[in-house]
Chains A and B, each alone.
Chain A
């Protein structure tokens, strides 16, 4: 015979249990689980030193399959100092229908998965790599890209228009699929870029474009040193496992640097020299310029020595794909790290748009 009071005891205990389960489901314990996982993974990496440590990322080059250097970096530019162009202040955005499309472009730029869900396969946002809504010099600003196209690209072996260049961002950096030319998303982004470039000369060598190229590292870039730099200067925000940090609605406050939610192997940020230049000029947020060139090279090699989604240009096997698109020491694709060949993840996964990404 169970009395009412006894039911009360059970009810109370079950309520506490339910709260505990709720907390668990809510991800309160995720962080600890993830940390344990990544510690195991790091230990595995340590026990088998990768051949990455023995390799030298080549200084900027134009080997087959590489993004042309002029597109990614402005070799002549010194960070910040010589940049004359300033995009117009946002208060000067025009009113009316054109202004609406420009604002739509900015919205896509700063909250890409939510504003262009049909074409985005990860939780990165354009602004993850192009800081200050694409305005910031030496952070691959949108205004400098706008005045640099059409241009011949060795990546596509053809003359590429600005919209076609944006298609590449969706396909590689956003690990998604290219919006068709003339799609409202591309028109909005192009309009925003056009407006940001108001008054800029049509000049692919405009100061502030890309990320300022770094001189080749004094010491060969090294995985183990990079791992230490990462733990000390990057992991607080991007997580020990490189997965970034998100709100409960999958909005990436800190973007994933590798793994399934990051850019794929075809993205420009997968090039060690490009990542090093970005890191040196812009990271850590709020503390730019605090890493040495050597630390930037080491940590860029470390970041790009982890697995990430397959290159959409995958030819059917890793070495063939490396030969066709990654034939440079600037890419870790197809090379062995900790006993595993990077990129050996099979055919690209079918595109799946994110279900939820709200701030």
Chain B
């Protein structure tokens, strides 16, 4: 029996030393104080809820995620649902839950969602979105989305989140929020500058494009 407890102790020790996401996981699954569990809206695997425009969180950069929670908490990113939740979390909680979601695997089963506006294969819209995403519009010195968000919009490093695996609703809401100033302009003010060069139709086109891409590389 004593040997049994030793084995348990060894297991627990290994668990504690290897896992630094305990707090974050708890907040995600059961909430903290007045803050709802994240998974209520963002899904058990952090995959988001496309129809409602709740974003995928799994596999996004920790720094990006905690910057968003901090912005909701201090009111610079305006969102009626997220502001009270972020305010109810301590700075340490926000960092922990960001680290938790950053470490979750990219959802493999994220299904391309139906575009918010046009029917799926609308050729004009699709080609405008794909062109802006992969080539940009350099006549106006507008870079392609993937020049910072990576090939296929799968995200790069801690600061450039994935666009693939997000819903068209979420993506177009965000681009519109940058255009109107409801979302802080982000590092170096890049997204405010970029989004203001997009028409409403282009916002929809590029959002539809990324909503149709898989979150993970094919191979």
Among A9, A13, A237, A286, the residue within 8 A (CB) of B193 is A286
**A:241-266 near B, CB below 8 Å:** 245, 247, 249, 251, 253-254
Q: How far is it, in angstroms, between the C-alpha of A23 and the C-alpha of B3 when the chains are bound?
A: 31
Please tell me if the beta carbons of A287 and B193 are within 8 angstroms of each other in the complex. Answer: yes
Task: A247-B150, A253-B151 given; name 15 further pairs at CB < 8 Å.
Answer: A6-B7, A6-B8, A10-B10, A13-B10, A13-B14, A16-B15, A19-B18, A28-B103, A132-B136, A132-B138, A245-B160, A247-B151, A251-B151, A254-B156, A286-B141
Contact of B148 among A6, A247, A285 (CB under 8 A): A285
| A344 at the binding interface (Cβ < 8 Å) | no
| Residue pair A359, B8 in contact (C-beta under 8 Å) | no
The distance in angstroms between the C-alpha atoms of A6 and B8, with both chains bound, is 6
Number of A positions contacting B (CB below 8 A): 38
- Give the chain A neighbours of B141 by CB distance below 8 A: 286, 288
State how many angstroms separate the Cβ of A190 from the closest Cβ of chain B.
Answer: 22
Closest to B156 in A: A253
With A23-B103, A132-B138, A285-B148 already in contact, the answer to whether A13 and B12 are too (CB < 8 A) is yes
Q: Give the A-B contact count at a CB cut-off of 8 A.
A: 98
Task: Report chain A residues within 8 Å CB of B209.
Answer: none
Contact B11 A12 (CB under 8 A): yes
- Kindly list chain A residues whose C-beta atoms are within 8 Å of the C-beta of B156: 245, 247, 253-254
Encoded as 1 (CB less than 8 Å from any A CB) or 0, chain B from 193 to 205 comes to: 1100000000000
Say whether A16 contacts B193, CB under 8 Å: no
A20 touches B19 (CB 8 A): yes
Closest to A18 in B: B18
User: When the two chains form their complex, are residues A233 and B3 in contact, meaning their CB atoms are under 8 A apart?
Assistant: no
- Interface size on B (CB < 8 Å)? 42
* A-binding residues in B (CB < 8 A): 3-4, 7-8, 10-15, 17-20, 102-103, 135-136, 138, 141-143, 146-148, 150-152, 154, 156-160, 187-190, 193-194, 217, 219
Residue A1 is within 8 A (CB to CB) of chain B in the complex: yes
Q: Is the CB–CB distance between B152 and A285 below 8 Å?
A: no
Q: Indicate whether A174 reaches chain B with its CB closer than 8 angstroms.
A: no
| Bound CA span A20–B193, Å | 38
Question: Among A6, A12, A21, A286, which residue has its beta carbon within 8 angstroms of that of B143?
Answer: A286
